[in-house]
Amino acid sequence: MITDIQIQGECDTRFSAVKEAFAANFSERGDIGAAVSVYLGGASVVDIWAGYADGDRNRLFSGNHGGLPLRFPSKMSEINESHWK
């Protein structure tokens, strides 16, 4: 487990729980590297990364991480957006 993880990037204060859960993946669940990006209304509100990009722990994650984009259905997005406004 990584206990001294340094999370890089930007996180809107309204989404501090996302950053806390992200950190817990390392300290409590044994994650070695990850990244997460969240957009709200077309604006980036979370873009964070930490740990290693490889299992041998030789290559750190960087801000230029690639990923699988996921979209919520529009009704779910409306619910989520109204919650964070």
In order along the chain (85 residues), what is the average pLDDT of each group of 10 residues? 80 94 91 88 90 88 66 50 49
Give residue 60's pLDDT: 87
- CA 4/CA 1 separation, integer angstroms: 9
- Domain-located, residue 78: yes
- Domain-located, residue 2: no
- Report whether 46 contacts 36 (CB < 8 A): yes
- Domain-located, residue 14: yes
Give residue 9's pLDDT: 94
How many structural domains is the chain composed of? 1
Give residue 71's pLDDT: 60
- Domain-located, residue 38: yes
pTM: 0.73
- Domain-located, residue 20: yes
- Domain-located, residue 67: yes
- Report whether 8 contacts 1 (CB < 8 A): no
- Domain-located, residue 44: yes
Give residue 79's pLDDT: 44
